[in-house]
Amino acid sequence: MSELDPEVVLRQVVEAAREATGARYAALGILDEERVELERFITLGIDERTRARIGDLPRGRGVLGVLISDPKPLRLSRVGDHPKSYGFPTGHPPMGNFLGVPISIRGRAWGNLYLTEKTEGDFTEGDEEAVVILAGWAATALDNARLHQKVEARNEELERAMLTSRMTAEIARSVGGETELDRILELIVKRGRALVDAHSMLIFLVEGEELVIAATAGPVDASLRGRRFATNGTAMGEALRTGRVVWVEDLVAELAETASQPDAPVAPTQIAQVRAPKSLQIPMIFRGRPVGILSTVSADGDAAPGPDALDQLKTFAATAATAVATARSVAAQSLRRSLEAAEHERTRWAQELHDETLQDLASVNVLLSTTRRAPDAHRRGQAIDAAMAQVTESIRNLRSLISDLRPAALDELGVLPAMEALVERMGATSGLPVALDVNRGAGADQLEIRVEPAVELTIYRLTQEALTNVVKHADADQARVRIIEANGWIEVTVSDDGQGFDSTAHSEGFGLLGMRERVELAGGSFEVHSDPAGTTVCARLPAPHRVPG
């Protein structure tokens, strides 16, 4: 039983059972993996013409089903007398005595071996013992064969996985830390074309009911980028709908028929410098949803890609789909964080207005109500003076809030006067001494030079958020703000002598993520260093000066 081909082994078992028992007919049936219907059915004693007359294979509803539901040997003098017997189909030869044995693997019946029409009397106990042994051999051979097939399939799967991993790693190394979608697609399409040696390659992205050319590699006209094409009734639409690879004999004709701009047809020279470029359309699927098409173009006379190249292309398509989804997710997360930050700011200002201004106004209201009932002018005068002082304080608080929301000094005078006002106000309201050091190069006149508004606002908001963190969390005795401009860059540092924190554990806390995103959006870099001796927040920003006038 060293043979692994199940067909050979099972046929040998049937032949041995028939010879050992002297039966005229012998058969062996094996269920499929779901144990629903027969996967294999081997017979001896019935010629092909008779088998054709009989028709469909047994369905296991009669005596054969008993061997599955009640897996133990069954000997009958007349099989037709059994209460579960269904009789025989038209064209089936008559059969009298019967011996059936289940084929069990690990305690479950996976088929049966049965014989009929013993030439000399009924089947004996010795026949039954012999067939039970043969059925055991069949079960062992079948189990080994299936295990072997699973191992082979697993090996092939591992080989494909390793190939996929290598290809994905190569693309991942090329893509690196890119999050900009256009750049990612450009890297993938160029790398993909080189690795499978395609004549040219295009990536189409799904936008609504259309496909848009988003990236190209090879001799493809750059003006095609952004062109839109319909998907209904097209090969590319079929690839998206079915998730299967589709071969197109003439990509130019395909695009010409589906272009959303029929007055600007796609010319052959724009695709591959050939008259009728053949193309393979590989759907880009991410979590069951189509996001685009990876289209490889073959030169005139080139054969379709082989299985290995096709596997690589499917890998590229999957990688491209993941890259598209990831880039879009990053953009969505950035927008979501921006909205959350804006909502957080609104909540903070609402709380400030409630806790200070609204409470102050409520206090003034109570004070004035009391004044109306005061018995003498002197007491009414005192109450009015107190109310006026409370209103003055509320006005001061409102001005402070307005300045925090959008400091007038920043728009009118520039970042340095706004920073001086911020540092002074922060020290006055919190009691924390804050020093401001500014160095903008050798020329004193450079202090009057303004940088771009986006950079000024980034400097201001970064310093504001960092100082707010110091006041709320650092338990510091003092803080320092340093601004240095040199060689076209501005470096902003906010440091304190507080208790510090674990910057890795709080990478998204204390507003650090918002500060980092704001700085990176302005084209700069952001770092945080913290230990028990204090915290330093440092940003390096480009310093494009405003054009006068």
Q: Tokens for 385?
A: 């003076």
Give the pairing type, strands 434-439 and 479-486. parallel
* Whole-number pLDDT of residue 171: 62
Distances (CA, A) of 265 to 213, 268, 272, 280, 386: 14, 10, 15, 21, 80
Using a pLDDT cut of 70, give the percent of the chain over it: 74
* Whole-number pLDDT of residue 478: 93
Q: For residue 239, is pLDDT > 70?
A: yes
Give the pairing type, strands 38-44 and 23-31. antiparallel
User: Does residue 219 or residue 546 have the better pLDDT?
Assistant: 219
Please tell me the CATH superfamily of domain 181-332, with its number.
GAF domain (3.30.450.40)
Helix H or strand E encompassing 72: none
Q: Tokens for 176?
A: 């690196």
Sheet containing strand 278-286, strands side by side:
228-230, 210-217, 200-207, 289-298, 278-286, 246-248
Domain 409-542 grouped into CATH 2.60.40.1220: no
Report yes or no: 200 and 218 within 8 Å, Cβ to Cβ.
yes
Burial 251-290 (b: 16+ CB within 10 A, else e): bbebbeebbeeeeeebebebbbbbeebbbbbbbbbbeeeb
| DSSP secondary structure, 289-304, as one string | EEEEEEEEEEPTTPPP
Q: Tokens for 25?
A: 């007919």
Q: For residue 502, is pLDDT > 80?
A: no
Alpha helices in 303-358 (DSSP H): 307-352
pLDDT-derived band of residue 344, with 50, 70 and 90 as boundaries?
low
pLDDT tens sequence across 67-109 = 878 888 988 888 877 877 776 767 678 888 999 898 888 888 8
Q: 6-150: which CATH topology?
A: Beta-Lactamase (3.30.450)
pLDDT tens sequence across 36-51 = 777 788 888 888 887 7
Distances (CA, A) of 200 to 52, 86, 178, 228, 277: 53, 64, 23, 19, 10
**409-542 and 6-150 share a CATH fold:** no
* Whole-number pLDDT of residue 236: 85
pLDDT-derived band of residue 447, with 50, 70 and 90 as boundaries?
very low
Give the pairing type, strands 108-118 and 23-31. antiparallel
What average pLDDT is seen over the chain? 78
Q: Tokens for 254?
A: 């395909």
In whole angstroms, give the CA distance from residue 37 to residue 70: 17
pLDDT-derived band of residue 445, with 50, 70 and 90 as boundaries?
very low
Q: Tokens for 440?
A: 């903008």
Give the pairing type, strands 74-76 and 98-105. antiparallel
Domain residue ranges in the chain? 6-150, 181-332, 339-403, 409-542
User: Does residue 541 or residue 441 have the better pLDDT?
Assistant: 541
Coil, helix or strand for 498?
A: coil
Q: For residue 440, is pLDDT > 70?
A: no
Q: What global pTM score does this model have?
A: 0.39
- The type of residue at 66 is V
* Whole-number pLDDT of residue 477: 92
Distances (CA, A) of 22 to 102, 127, 129: 19, 9, 14
User: Does residue 257 or residue 531 have the better pLDDT?
Assistant: 531
Using a pLDDT cut of 90, give the percent of the chain over it: 10
Report yes or no: 45 and 24 within 8 Å, Cβ to Cβ.
yes
